[in-house]
Structure 1
Amino acid sequence: MDRAPGLSVRVKLTLSYAGFLMLAGALLLAAVWVFLLRYVPDRALIIPGSTGTTHGVFPIRSNLLHVFAPRAAAVLAFLLVFGLGGGWLLASRMLAPLTRITDATRRATSGSLSHRIQLPGRKDEFRELADAFDTMLARLEAHVAEQQRFAANASHELRTPLAISKTLLDVARTDPTCDTGEVIDRLHAVNARAIDLTEALLLLSRAERRSFARERVDLSLMAEEATETLLPLAEKHGVTVETSGDITPTLGSPALLLQLTMNLVHNAIVHNLPEGGSVWVHTSVRPKTVVLTVENTGEQVAPQLASTLTEPFQRGTERLHTDHAGVGLGLAIVKTITHAHDGTLTLIPRPAGGLRITVELPPPPPPPPRTPGGDGPGN
């Protein structure tokens, strides 16, 4: 935004200090002048034998202004000079933290996010501003690093199916004896994976922008719908899915919350025991949150691995050798949707193997109280 040039804050503070000091001095001199006029007599008697006027009295008030005015002007001039000099020094000292904050801001705008102000001293308004700015820079730096890492991983993941497709096409073009049907089937599978990855990236971007309307949603119904949809997959893997819980209302996007539940249940089914696995989906209401819990059996998961599973394109070692390895964004999408709904996501390894994943969301606001006199405008 273009602005017209103006006085600096330091000059304004200096003039303010000097002006206040001048005003205080002028008021003090005015008070002295009023005191002199009130309590000093117009004429003073002269003691006999002393030097005085021929009439035996000495005039005071007539000469008071001539004596007081030059000295008052000198005092005001001194206060002006002292106020300007002292005000400049005080303003420089007071604005020194702001100079450091401005320098850090300019560095941040040029791309240097690693710089911190780290303003020393006791807590005051400038130090609160500096600490808040340092916190913002730390979060921004972490976010930029995460976005760069995500972009690199996404580029790698998207490059893989394209490279495979190119290889298959090269083989089909140079080898006339190759099985065309097999090549087409493999191309179809590779393209399907690329489409799934692209849709997952779009969904992740949409959830991060929070560009969705919020409606009243029942998580228990989402759990039932996800379980019914994925029941064939569960039967294929020999996994039993149990759903329980109470009505669990919250406020959010029905499509995104259904995707969140689908991802959790799908993840619990696919990454389970080879045979006889189980998945438990439970919803509940707590005093300040509503909770969706998805728990599954499976292999032992190290706590260090569990804490990284929500990162984009992060998979456990055992996940890379299955037919349902996915695109590596399932739990990352769950995490993003949860944060977009102001909730928290917790992953805890089960002692017997598998994971217990808990999503806590805020409850919907209470309905407005009814106005007395009836339910409708006509009552």
Structure 2
Amino acid sequence: MDRPPGPSVRLKLTLSYAGFLLLAGSLVLAAVGVFLLREGWFQTNEQGAWRVTPGTSFVRGFAPLAAVVMACLLVFGLLGGWFLAGRMLAPLARITHATRTAATGSLSHRVRLPGRQDEFRELADAFDAMLARLEAHVAEQRRFAANASHELRTPLAISKSLLDVARTDPSHDTGEVLDRLQAVNARAIDLTEALLLLSRADRQSFAREPVDLSLVAEEAAETLLPLAEKHGVALVTDGEITPTVGSPALLLQLTSNLVHNAIVHNLPERGSVWVTTAVRPTTVLLTVENTGEPVPPQLVPTLTEPFRRGTERVHTDHAGVGLGLAIVRSITRAHGGTLTLTPRPAGGLRITVELPTAGARPSAA
């Protein structure tokens, strides 16, 4: 925003300090002057009558001294005010420098203002925290863009190769080429739809209405029951009525992603998945727990990043597009909730989604 130039805050504070100092000095000198005037100007004659005489002590002694004092107060107020204002505003100069540095794209710079806690330190700490979150978000978005480009390029490259083969080898089985093209195209469509869903959740562009999370869990489990039976996984649902507010479609997608991941990332045989819901005083819980191979604790924080997969737990026939838990995290944040991933000691994961209950105010994501 273009603004006309004006006096600096330091100059304004300096003039304010000097002005208040002059005002205080003027009041003191005025009080002393009034006293001297009363003593020097009003006297009585031999008959006891009041008469006015020149206040020689005031005119000859006090008035010049008062002028010198006021001049000294003015100089002292300006110099002292300028110095004190500079000391007081020094933290703002550091914050301004950090802001300009961040505006150039250097998000790693921090204010790190020393000293005890006060308003300036609170502002600097809040600014540092904002820069840290912004830096992490930008880094995540860059990784997301690079990975999305790679993931989208792969099916396109495969399609081009298949078409080149079909063009150069007319005797090649066209049915096989069409089948492979259909599979590659289906994967590209799934990836595109997942990206759109992720973007929709991040923008929070959805209508909110009352939702019973237990019914959503039952619907997701019923839909994915054939997949669980195919993988030899026992799917168990349990819980109580869990009223919340949000998008039924997005919450169903969240639950379906969790249950689907729990099924396909499981033991080769005789695996189990438990889907439970619970109510707390101000929140509702959806927990999806599964058996499986042990998950290294250092791998857990990366599982919710886009296109990050726990490769040691992925079956090649159901690798997905790498956005399942990323979508879950975005939907959870959009609903003011929290997502917690915990490795099970016996193997597998326990994933808990905590959302505000119906009537509770969602927390800031």
TM-score (norm 2): 0.92
* Offset of residue 104 of structure 1: 0.7
Residue 173 of structure 1 aligns with an amino acid whose one-letter code is: R
1:166-177 alignment runs, 5 A limit: 166-177=160-171
Counting matched residue pairs gives: 354
Give the corresponding residue for 2:256.
262
Residue 64 of structure 2 aligns with an amino acid whose one-letter code is: P
* Offset of residue 335 of structure 1: 1.2
Residue 31 of structure 1 aligns with an amino acid whose one-letter code is: A
Asked whether the 8 Å contact 2:236–2:275 carries over to 1, the reply is yes
In structure 2, the residue corresponding to 1:256 is in which secondary structure?
helix
Q: Is 1:338 the counterpart of 2:332 in the alignment?
A: yes
Give the corresponding residue for 1:111.
105
* Offset of residue 235 of structure 1: 2.1
Q: Is 1:322 the counterpart of 2:309 in the alignment?
A: no
1:127-142 alignment runs, 5 A limit: 127-142=121-136
**Which of the residues 290, 293, 298 maps onto 1:299?**
293
1:43-54 alignment runs, 5 A limit: 43=43
Q: Which consecutive unaligned segments of at least 5 residues does structure 1 have?
A: 46-58, 368-379
Give the corresponding residue for 2:48.
none
1:133-152 alignment runs, 5 A limit: 133-152=127-146
In structure 1, the residue corresponding to 2:340 is in which secondary structure?
strand
In structure 2, the residue corresponding to 1:230 is in which secondary structure?
helix
**Which of the residues 230, 243, 246 maps onto 1:252?**
246
1:224-303 alignment runs, 5 A limit: 224-303=218-297
Give the corresponding residue for 1:49.
none
1:25-64 alignment runs, 5 A limit: 25-39=25-39, 42-43=42-43, 61-64=54-57
Residue 334 of structure 1 aligns with an amino acid whose one-letter code is: V
CA offset digits 1:141-190 (Å, max 9, x no partner) = 11111111111111111111111111111111111121101101101110
CA offset digits 1:87-125 (Å, max 9, x no partner) = 111111111111111111111111111111111111111
Cα distance in 2 between the residues matched to 1:62 and 1:38: 9
Q: Is 1:72 the counterpart of 2:66 in the alignment?
A: yes
Asked whether the 8 Å contact 1:43–1:61 carries over to 2, the reply is no
TM-aligned CA distance change 1:294 to 1:321, over 3 Å: closer
Asked whether the 8 Å contact 1:217–1:249 carries over to 2, the reply is yes
Residue 164 of structure 2 aligns with an amino acid whose one-letter code is: D
Asked whether the 8 Å contact 2:344–2:350 carries over to 1, the reply is yes
Give the corresponding residue for 1:375.
none
Asked whether the 8 Å contact 1:240–1:276 carries over to 2, the reply is yes
Residue 140 of structure 2 aligns with an amino acid whose one-letter code is: E
Asked whether the 8 Å contact 2:37–2:58 carries over to 1, the reply is no
Cα distance in 1 between the residues matched to 2:353 and 2:206: 19
Give the corresponding residue for 1:213.
207
CA offset digits 1:165-220 (Å, max 9, x no partner) = 11111111111121101101101110110111111111111111222222211100
Q: Which consecutive unaligned segments of at least 5 residues does structure 2 have?
A: 46-51
Cα distance in 2 between the residues matched to 1:307 and 1:141: 17
* Offset of residue 39 of structure 1: 4.7
Give the corresponding residue for 1:21.
21
Q: Which has the larger radius of gyration?
A: 1
Cα distance in 2 between the residues matched to 1:235 and 1:291: 26
Give the corresponding residue for 2:87.
93
Residue 300 of structure 1 aligns with an amino acid whose one-letter code is: P
In structure 1, the residue corresponding to 2:352 is in which secondary structure?
strand
Cα distance in 2 between the residues matched to 1:74 and 1:294: 83
* Offset of residue 37 of structure 1: 3.1
Give the corresponding residue for 2:119.
125
Asked whether the 8 Å contact 2:272–2:291 carries over to 1, the reply is yes
1:190-201 alignment runs, 5 A limit: 190-201=184-195
